[in-house]
Amino acid sequence: MIQSLLIANRGEIACRIIRTARQMGIRTVAVYSDADAKALHVRQADEAVHIGPSPARESYLVGEKIIAAALTTGAEAIHPGYGFLSENAEFAQAVIDAGLVWVGPRPASITAMGLKDAAKKLMAEAGVPVTPGYLGENQDPAFLASQAAEIGYPVLIKAVAGGGGKGMRKVEEAADFADALASCQREASASFGNAHVLIEKYIQRPRHIEVQVFGDTHGNIVHLFERDCSLQRRHQKVIEEAPAPGMDEGTREQLCATAVRAARAVDYVGAGTIEFIADASEGLRADRIWFMEMNTRLQVEHPVTEEITGVDLVEWQLRVASGEPLPKRQDELSINGWAMEARLYAEDPAKGFLPSIGRLEHFTLPHTRPPVRDTAHGFSPDVDATNQTSQGAIRVDTGVEKGGEVSPFYDPMIAKVIASGHDRDAARRSLLSALGDTVVWPVKTNAAFLVAALAHPEFAEGTVDTGLIARDGEELARPPAPSPAKLTDAAMAMISAGIVPRFRLNAEPHSSGRFLLDGEPIEIPLVAGGTLWPSDDMLVSDKGMVWHLTPWRIEGGHGHHAHDGAILSPMPGRIIAVEVAAGDVVTKGQKLLTLEAMKMEHSLTAPFDGVVAELNVAAGAQVQVEAPLVRIAPAE
Ligand code: ADP
């Protein structure tokens, strides 16, 4: 067994690999860029080596620096994780040439599966069904158009060197083919330095189903069943699960046998994934599932397979890389229960999923447990029983922590939240509730979007296809409002802590209070009771969203009682409109001023009927918090 391991990656996958290596008594070496000097993976490893500036192409993508770090620290092996250099055959070869152990497949297998057309040809020769289409050398536009017509529209043009959802164009009809081809080729040359394309039949309402395979250096290859990754946004996976909903035993057996055949065709060693596309318009049928591509590494979504099989895939990788045979035979592997994973991103669905960068002032994920692990007695189904009701059964794989930074340099995925259950609905509900309670602030996350997706009726039924988010994404991305009960709880907590004195309550005593929710004025119904909260602001979390709640200060503060009619600025900002003049008669609720603060407009209104006794500001004025703006004298 190898004794020391360098992890050529960062974030959650680096932490994930370190965890297993540590359990196996293997010494770990992390590498890091400037931006990651204080990152979790650096602190978790036994040793860490700085490999350069923050941009990945100057650090995590520089093979020589990583190999040098392994040699100077005496690490015996290199695990590439996923992304970065994990599917770079040249790097794998350089690692081997440096006398180190490469935790991954043979470089030749990576190369064979590297280009989509070559991989499909190889698979077709091995008797693996591939999506109908044209894979040839002839790239003449007129010829490709004739091939598209023969395949039948709609078709998909794919860059052979493409990846990550880039370099693909769906073409609905012949008239659009030439333009789509030219644009796909331009993107392919720019992104991958290779303009070569293939044409595929576009599968309607497709499902993405993939099979985990594992090979060793003794010629054994097994599969660890399938995962369904059909919930995608712009061809990127959002929620993954295992097993696939609606997969019957016969179809599963055929599909998994096909995947093993595919892996055998490239003498596969280590962890790999065969991705298939399924036409599920009439349910999952083995004759309507086609090979799409092979990923020659550990996948982001590997935890759902670990949860249903009880196998630690990283442990298997390290054993296989050390020359050991696979720990289990095919007939010793089985599916127990259901697992579902959601990718938690630091991004803002309300702003077109733009990455949300910054410090994680708050970072509270659901109560976690260690991943399911194989024990001497095998996987214990008892674990599932606890999953049904409690969040104690949630697994979180993360690479960040409270106080850490989300930097603009890398993928903004901050955690993977994985729920297991005795069946699909138990896992789904458990994941939904865990994500609903996630508190990340002020960095924004996609948690509310994930909650909405998990609650979507088609997803709940298990009839999801890869187009669901494209069809209903706008609705799913709309930020939800906090539930009244949550707001009342938070408001009461502040009141009982004495933060919101009685005089800030409205006319009817104790019936409601005025607050600012993310800077917006809000009236919150109050009830008796409440718990103590020692802070004058609070985070309210609900449905995966987080709001910032503060008391409304207009009618009080610094000796100004509401019945004084003193209107103080609730926050620093700029007066953009003044609706009244001194001496005007006003009625309760009438708009007096508009304040622009925190990029939002706030209307300040009369607290009761009266007269404008003082007007201290004009339009355009900058005002401080609690600045006296207007005073209303009560009507006689
Ligand atoms: P990449 O390497 O960029 O990830 P893939 O070939 O794996 O590209 O395809 C990514 C996604 O595109 C799939 O998961 C599926 O949603 C969609 N897709 C790929 N091929 C087809 C097809 N022939 N018909 C319909 N959708 C497809």
C-beta atoms surrounding 143 within 10 Å: 12
Give the DSSP H or E segment for 401: none
Summarize pLDDT for 467-509 with one digit per residue, the tens: 999 999 999 999 999 999 999 888 877 766 555 554 344 434 4
CA 126 – CA 117 distance, rounded (Å)? 14
User: Which residue minimizes the CA distance to atom 12 of ligand 1?
Assistant: 235
Could you report how far apart the first and last alpha carbons of the chain are, in Å? 90
The answer to whether residue 373 is catalytic is: no
| pLDDT at residue 367 in the model | 65
Summarize pLDDT for 265-304 with one digit per residue, the tens: 999 999 999 999 999 988 999 999 999 999 999 999 999 9
| Eight-class DSSP state of 586 | E
User: How many angstroms is it from 235 CA to the middle of ligand 1?
Assistant: 7
User: How many angstroms is it from 234 CA to the middle of ligand 1?
Assistant: 10
Which pTM does this prediction carry? 0.83
Mean pLDDT (the chain) is 89
Q: Is 200 in the pocket of ligand 1 (CB under 6 A)?
A: yes
Q: Is 276 in the pocket of ligand 1 (CB under 6 A)?
A: no
| pLDDT at residue 602 in the model | 77
Query: Percentage of residues in the chain with pLDDT exceeding 70?
Result: 89
Pocket-testing residue among 191, 203, 296, ligand 1, by greatest number of atoms within 8 A of Cβ: 203
For residue 158, the ligand 1 atom closest to its alpha carbon is: 6
Whether 284 contacts 327, CB under 8 Å: no
Q: Which residue has the tokens 């990788």?
A: 317
3-state helix, strand and coil shares in percent for the chain, rounded to the nearest 5: 30, 30, 40
Whether 562 contacts 503, CB under 8 Å: yes
Pocket-testing residue among 277, 299, 465, ligand 1, by greatest number of atoms within 8 A of Cβ: 277
Find, among 264, 318, 394, 343, the residue nearest to 81 by Cα: 318
Residues contacting residue 551 through CB under 8 Å, at least 6 positions apart: 494, 499, 500, 504, 513, 514, 515, 516, 536
CA 493 – CA 533 distance, rounded (Å)? 6
User: How many angstroms is it from 207 CA to the middle of ligand 1?
Assistant: 10
For residue 290, the ligand 1 atom closest to its alpha carbon is: 23
Q: Which residue has the tokens 């590494």?
A: 297
Pocket-testing residue among 117, 134, 135, 156, ligand 1, by greatest number of atoms within 8 A of Cβ: 156
Catalytic residue among 27, 169, 252, 297: 297
CA 364 – CA 417 distance, rounded (Å)? 12
Give the DSSP H or E segment for 66: helix 63-73
CA 492 – CA 585 distance, rounded (Å)? 35
* 3-class secondary-structure state, position 153: coil
User: How many angstroms is it from 481 CA to the middle of ligand 1?
Assistant: 35
User: How many angstroms is it from 11 CA to the middle of ligand 1?
Assistant: 26
